[in-house]
């Protein structure tokens, strides 16, 4: 998917049938939260903290998104989609005088740091023409006051019935939209007070606002509108999802977590969840996770929170962003089929768990589906446990193992990607053989990388249905997955285990 999202028609590229297979591609994460500026409900790919700061304004005391992004890149993450959401935020308003009326423009991106300005001229327009005008729009960097974006609209009209109507033309703008009341006359030329030959600009008459703290419903958004976390529907591949706390001292609520879990289940991704602030001991964490009632192999929970090393008075911080970065680093160096407790995968030294855990605590928490942030070698805390919240049922039992769940997610995504072209072909025996050969080749590459216990695996294709059987590394039994492919997506059957050994 391109970095810019067209809200009209979304085109998804289908991989060619003979493309090379990347058995261990770079892991992609996504965060949803509040930012100082940037487009709303649009996934934007950032590859480093500098890109995030330029596009979304960096860290902000009223949001936990910025610190989470900093943690992500500091701990080894490389590909991160950001979805900015807001609660009643508004864009700046510009009023261009129009002979007794006005051309009112509203900035598309809301926020107090979104600086846009506009200018009108009649260059190249006949003196007898009282309808058309040229409109220039600019976005300024709020810190350096330099132009970062500029748009030109030549010979547009203030008349609604005109083919060059300015309201229609501005639908292609990434900066502003036309707002009522509509002008009854052509906007006047914008003139400089100091020098009539200089290009002048009109600044906002009303500054933008940042809105109020987010609710669960702002994070969730709407599937139909493609807002909130559902803005990520247009992202082709997604491995990890994290919802930073929506406000200072506010935990991400159960409504948002349940919606995010379902989304991850549909996308074969992993949701990273933070421990609530009230979990101040191992006993309270166990009681809390039981009361929440989550039992999903697509959820990753941990305990405890972290603090600043050597500062007993430091605030208890969530570490979801750091964990997402470490999982990306794990995948790149060792593979998602490996446990998180590996050399070089500790939290940065300035972070330490606010509660010291021993081996007994780690085992008890793991039985409840919670990973532990515990002291490790060289003074760096590590993530121990290697579990998901998939517990309490036979179907989820094998997926209580984090490496097994994440490997299966990777296999499902890759198999769907390398065989999706077949959905648009007429099914026959030859097509099924070609699909099976591609899948077996991919599973063979995973075995060579050490992801599978052995080279005995099943890949059977029958029209839109694919049966996969393989034994993940460290798993005591084979896993059987049934994929159902359609042009609109891929679903996986609930049966998780092969009833017998693989051939």
Task: Determine if the peptide bond prior to 304 is cis (ω within 30°).
Answer: yes
Q: Which of 320, 340, 333, 449 is nearest to 402 (CA)?
A: 340
Number of C-beta neighbours around residue 448 at 10 A: 11
Domain boundary among 158, 179, 200: 179
Shared domain for 105 and 66, answered yes or no, is no
Query: Is residue 383 within 8 Å of residue 340, measured between CB atoms?
Result: yes
Shared domain for 164 and 78, answered yes or no, is no
Q: What's the CA gap between 31 and 243, in Å, rounded?
A: 6
Mean pLDDT of 319-339: 97
Vertex 68, ends 67 and 73: CA angle to 5°? Answer: 100
Shared domain for 106 and 248, answered yes or no, is no
Residue-wise pLDDT for 114-166, tens only, equals 999 999 999 999 999 999 999 999 999 888 889 999 999 999 999 999 999 99
Residue-wise pLDDT for 369-407, tens only, equals 999 999 888 778 999 999 999 875 555 678 899 999 999
By CB atoms closer than 10 A (0-12, 13-18, 19+), residue 280 is middle
Shared domain for 356 and 220, answered yes or no, is yes
- Residue ranges in 57-202 assigned as alpha helix (H): 65-74, 166-169
For the entire predicted model, the pTM comes to 0.90
Residue-wise pLDDT for 426-437, tens only, equals 878 888 898 899
Residue with tokens 């009023």: 95
Residue 218: CB partners within 8 Å, gap ≥ 6?
85, 86, 87, 228, 246
Decide if 201 is inside a domain: no
Is the Cα torsion angle 91, 57, 309, 285 positive or negative in sign?
Answer: positive
Distances (CA, A) of 105 to 18, 115, 131, 236, 397: 50, 13, 18, 34, 56
Check whether 19 has a pLDDT greater than 70: no
Compute the residue count for the chain: 503
| Number of domains within the chain | 3
Shared domain for 384 and 267, answered yes or no, is yes
Check whether 365 has a pLDDT greater than 70: yes
Decide if 416 is inside a domain: no
Check whether 360 has a pLDDT greater than 50: yes
Distances (CA, A) of 441 to 193, 418, 435, 446: 71, 11, 10, 9
Q: How far is CA 427 from the centre of its chain?
A: 35
Q: What's the CA gap between 38 and 54, in Å, rounded?
A: 9
Here the tokens at position 75 are 């701990």
Instruction: Give the domain CATH number at 465.
Output: 3.30.360
Shared domain for 36 and 169, answered yes or no, is no
Residue-wise pLDDT for 157-211, tens only, equals 999 999 999 999 999 999 999 999 999 999 999 987 665 556 789 999 999 999 9
Decide if 411 is inside a domain: no
Shared domain for 343 and 246, answered yes or no, is yes
Mean pLDDT of 218-230: 96
Mean pLDDT of 325-337: 97
Q: What's the CA gap between 40 and 30, in Å, rounded?
A: 15
Shared domain for 365 and 474, answered yes or no, is no
Decide if 188 is inside a domain: no
Domain boundary among 392, 411, 436: 392
Decide if 418 is inside a domain: no
Distances (CA, A) of 375 to 349, 352, 384: 11, 8, 10
Shared domain for 82 and 101, answered yes or no, is no
Question: Could you tell me the pLDDT band of residue 6, with boundaries at 50, 70 and 90?
Answer: very low
Mean pLDDT of 311-331: 90
Shared domain for 49 and 110, answered yes or no, is no
Shared domain for 133 and 165, answered yes or no, is yes
Q: What's the CA gap between 323 and 27, in Å, rounded?
A: 13
75-79, 292-296, 423-427, 437-441: segment of lowest average pLDDT: 423-427
Here the tokens at position 367 are 């039985």
Average of per-residue pLDDT values in the chain = 90
Here the tokens at position 354 are 């606010």
Q: What's the CA gap between 459 and 40, in Å, rounded?
A: 42
- The span from the first CA to the last CA of the chain, in angstroms, equals 39
Question: Phi and psi of 33, rounded to 5°?
Answer: -175, -170
* Residue 384 bridge partners (DSSP): 372
Range of the domain at 437: 423-492
Decide if 97 is inside a domain: yes
Here the tokens at position 422 are 């077949």
Decide if 462 is inside a domain: yes
Mean pLDDT of 324-343: 96
Check whether 76 has a pLDDT greater than 60: yes
Check whether 8 has a pLDDT greater than 70: no
Question: Could you tell me the pLDDT band of residue 84, with boundaries at 50, 70 and 90?
Answer: very high
Instruction: Give the domain CATH number at 287.
Output: 3.40.50.11780
Shared domain for 154 and 112, answered yes or no, is yes
Task: Determine if the peptide bond prior to 237 is cis (ω within 30°).
Answer: no
31-35, 76-80, 426-430: segment of lowest average pLDDT: 426-430
Check whether 362 has a pLDDT greater than 70: yes
Here the tokens at position 383 are 């993530």
Domain boundary among 164, 179, 194: 179
Decide if 66 is inside a domain: yes
């Amino acid at each position: 998917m391109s970095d810019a999202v067209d809200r009209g028609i979304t085109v998804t590229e289908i991989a060619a049938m003979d493309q090379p297979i990347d058995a261990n591609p770079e892991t992609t994460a996504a965060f949803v939260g509040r930012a100082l500026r940037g487009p709303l409900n649009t996934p934007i790919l950032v590859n480093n903290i500098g890109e995030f700061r330029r596009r979304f304004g960096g860290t902000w005391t009223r949001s936990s998104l910025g610190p989470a992004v900093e943690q992500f890149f500091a701990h080894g993450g490389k590909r991160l989609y950001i979805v900015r959401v807001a609660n009643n935020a508004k864009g700046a308003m510009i009023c261009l005088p129009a002979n007794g009326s006005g051309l009112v423009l509203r900035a598309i991106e809301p926020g107090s740091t979104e600086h846009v300005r506009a200018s009108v001229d009649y260059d190249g327009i006949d003196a007898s023409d009282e309808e058309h005008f040229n409109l220039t729009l600019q976005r300024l960097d709020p810190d350096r006051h330099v132009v970062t974006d500029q748009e030109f609209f030549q010979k547009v009209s203030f008349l609604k019935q005109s083919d060059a109507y300015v309201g229609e033309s501005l639908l292609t703008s990434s900066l502003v939209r036309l707002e009522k009341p509509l002008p009854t006359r052509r906007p006047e030329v914008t003139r400089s007070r100091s020098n009539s030959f200089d290009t002048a600009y009109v600044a906002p008459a009303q500054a933008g606002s940042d809105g109020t703290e987010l609710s669960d419903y702002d994070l969730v958004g709407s599937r139909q509108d493609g807002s909130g976390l559902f803005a990520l529907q247009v992202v082709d591949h997604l491995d990890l999802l994290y919802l930073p706390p929506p406000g200072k001292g506010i935990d991400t609520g159960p409504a948002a977590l349940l919606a995010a879990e379902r989304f991850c289940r549909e996308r074969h991704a992993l949701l990273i969840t933070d421990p609530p602030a009230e979990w101040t001991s191992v006993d309270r964490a166990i009681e809390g996770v039981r009361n929440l009632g989550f039992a999903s192999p697509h959820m990753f929970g941990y305990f405890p929170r972290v603090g600043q090393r050597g500062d007993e008075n430091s605030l208890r911080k969530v570490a979801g962003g750091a964990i997402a970065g470490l999982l990306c680093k794990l995948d790149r160096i060792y593979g998602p089929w490996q446990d998180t407790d590996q050399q070089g995968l500790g939290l940065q030294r300035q972070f330490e768990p606010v509660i010291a855990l021993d081996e007994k605590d780690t085992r008890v928490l793991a039985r409840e589906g919670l990973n532990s942030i515990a002291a490790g070698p060289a003074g760096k805390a590590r993530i121990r446990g290697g579990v998901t919240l998939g517990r309490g049922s036979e179907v989820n039992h094998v997926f209580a193992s984090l490496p097994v769940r994440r490997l299966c997610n990777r296999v499902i995504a890759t198999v769907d990607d390398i065989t999706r072209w077949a959905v648009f072909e007429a099914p026959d025996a030859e097509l099924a053989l070609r699909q099976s050969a591609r899948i077996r080749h991919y599973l063979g590459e995973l075995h060579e990388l050490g992801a599978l216990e052995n080279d005995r695996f099943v890949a059977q294709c029958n029209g839109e249905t694919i049966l996969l059987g393989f034994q993940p590394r460290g798993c005591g039994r084979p896993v059987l997955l049934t994929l159902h492919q359609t042009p609109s997506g891929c679903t996986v059957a609930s049966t998780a285990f092969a009833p017998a050994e693989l051939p």
